[in-house]
C-alpha cells in the first residue's frame, strides 16, 4: 500500500492496524448522503477493497448533501461515480460495484461471506433487514444507519445498539423487525433529535421514496456527519483500535 499517502493515519493507529485496513474488504450498501461519505472515509483510510451496492443515478436533488453529486456526474450511476472517485483517491483500492436494488429477492447476488465488514446505508426497510440477516448469517460485523432526513443537529448522532434507540421513527420499525426475526443485537447509527416538520416545497412535494412515502428534507451537514461517524466505527473496529 502507498505508505506516504496514509502516513498521517498510521501515526494514529500504527503500522499493524494499517495492514489490517489494507487487507480488509468492506461492502457499502447505498452510495447516497450517508453511504457516499462512508465510502469516502474508508477509501481515505486505506481500506484495500470496497464493494459498493446501489442502483440509483445522480440527480440534481442530490447536490445538497451527497459527495458524489457534482455537475460532471449528473445522470451517472452512483456506483460508477464512486468507482471513479476512489480511483482518484487510492488507485490501489480494489473496487467492485453492483448496480443493484438490494432486496430479499436479489440477496443471492451478493456473497456476504467474503466481507470483513458490512455497512447498511439504504432506506428500504425490507432491504435493510435482509442486509442485517445475511451479514449475521455469514458471521460478518454489520452496522446500520437509521434515519437522517428532517434532522438539523449532527451532535445528536450516536452509535449504539438498536434496542437502546429512541425517537427515530425508522429505528422504531427496525427494533420491531429485529425482535420478530430473532436479532438480539445490532450496531446502529441513529439520531436522538426529533425530526423537524418539512417546510416550503416539502409540504407540496409529490416525490416518493422506494416505499411510496414522501421524500424527507435534508441538509448538507447531517447525512455526511452520519456517514463519517459510521466509517470511523468501521475503521476502528477493523484496525482493532481501543482508545
Terminus-to-terminus CA distance in the chain, angstroms?
A: 25
> pLDDT value at position 198?
85
Candidates 68, 41, 47, 48; CA nearest to 57 is 68
Give residue 2's region: left, alpha or beta (phi > 0; psi -120 to 50).
Answer: beta
Q: Could you tell me the mean pLDDT of each successive run of 10 residues in the chain, 243 residues long?
A: 86 97 98 98 98 98 98 98 98 98 97 98 97 98 97 98 97 98 98 89 53 83 98 98 87
> pLDDT value at position 203?
47
**Which residues are paired to 159 by β-bridges?**
189
Distance between CA atoms of 91 and 178, rounded to whole angstroms?
Answer: 38
Candidates 102, 142, 139; CA nearest to 118 is 142
> The whole model's pTM is what?
0.94
> Helical H runs in 6-77?
7-13, 15-22, 35-44
> pLDDT value at position 200?
63
> pLDDT value at position 3?
72
Distance between CA atoms of 102 and 134, rounded to whole angstroms?
Answer: 12
Distance between CA atoms of 179 and 63, rounded to whole angstroms?
Answer: 36
Domain interval for residue 191 = 4-239
Q: Tell the residue number behind the cell numbers 488507485, with chain if given.
A: 91
Number of domains in the chain: 1
> pLDDT value at position 56?
98
Q: Residue 32: give its domain's CATH number.
A: 3.40.50.720
Amino acid at each position: 500500500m502507498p505508505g506516504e499517502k496514509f502516513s498521517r493515519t498510521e501515526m494514529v493507529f500504527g503500522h499493524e492496524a494499517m495492514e489490517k485496513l489494507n487487507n480488509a474488504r468492506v461492502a457499502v450498501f447505498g452510495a447516497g448522503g450517508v453511504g457516499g461519505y462512508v465510502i469516502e472515509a474508508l477509501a481515505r483510510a486505506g481500506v484495500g477493497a470496497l464493494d459498493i451496492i446501489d442502483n440509483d443515478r445522480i440527480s440534481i436533488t442530490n447536490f445538497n448533501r451527497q459527495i458524489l453529486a457534482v455537475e460532471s456526474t449528473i445522470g451517472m450511476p452512483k456506483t460508477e461515480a464512486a468507482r471513479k472517485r476512489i480511483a482518484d483517491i487510492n488507485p490501489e483500492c480494489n473496487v467492485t460495484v453492483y448496480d443493484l436494488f438490494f432486496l430479499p429477492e436479489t440477496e443471492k447476488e451478493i456473497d456476504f461471506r467474503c466481507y470483513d465488514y458490512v455497512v447498511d446505508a439504504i432506506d428500504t426497510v425490507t432491504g435493510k433487514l435482509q442486509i442485517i440477516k445475511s451479514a449475521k448469517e455469514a458471521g460478518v460485523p454489520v452496522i446500520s444507519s437509521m434515519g437522517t432526513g428532517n434532522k438539523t443537529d449532527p451532535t445528536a448522532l450516536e452509535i449504539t445498539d438498536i434496542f437502546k434507540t429512541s425517537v427515530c421513527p425508522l429505528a422504531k420499525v427496525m427494533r420491531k423487525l429485529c425482535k420478530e426475526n430473532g436479532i438480539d443485537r445490532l450496531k446502529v447509527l441513529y439520531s436522538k433529535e426529533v425530526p423537524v416538520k418539512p417546510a416550503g416545497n416539502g409540504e407540496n412535494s409529490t416525490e416518493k421514496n422506494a416505499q411510496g412515502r414522501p421524500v424527507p428534507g435534508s441538509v448538507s451537514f447531517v447525512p455526511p456527519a452520519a456517514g463519517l461517524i459510521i466509517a470511523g466505527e468501521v475503521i476502528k473496529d477493523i484496525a482493532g483500535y481501543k482508545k
